Structure 1
């Protein structure tokens, strides 16, 4: 296999970032599941998204600014801002 050394080293260097993103994605999936179950499985994508944004607004208002250095809103785990 012909792969440039720099490509391999960049991949190795990104291992921690990929693991952090995976953990954030799992935490978001858990939070979505909790919201959905708390609604007795009535909430769909628009309401779950609205609830996630409300929770993020509460965190921001309380002074939490995130620690990942991402530009995404807290509680979104780096998800792109999409209207549901």
Structure 2
């Protein structure tokens, strides 16, 4: 039994919301995702399809950043004055 590592303290609520929050926290702790420099959709610094320039869009609700290609928004859609909500906030 000494060969096994000590189990972490796992105290959290069991409501669906509490469990979802705990899963999110565990994933973020183990992640190498850099929220300041990586797209929240594809998790990469550069967009998946090369283009003339990299355009970034910030969600007005959660403040996450996305490549315009990843959220499939173009310049006319962004200039119409509608709030910029990501797919995570719209759901």
Shorter-chain TM range is under 0.3
- Flag the structure with higher strand content: 2
- Flag the structure with higher helix content: 1
User: TM-score if structure 2 supplies the norm length?
Assistant: 0.26
> Could you say which structure has the greater relative contact order, defined with CA pairs below 8 angstroms and 6 or more residues apart?
1
**Considering only CA atoms, is the larger Rg found in Structure 1 or Structure 2?**
2
User: TM-score if structure 1 supplies the norm length?
Assistant: 0.28
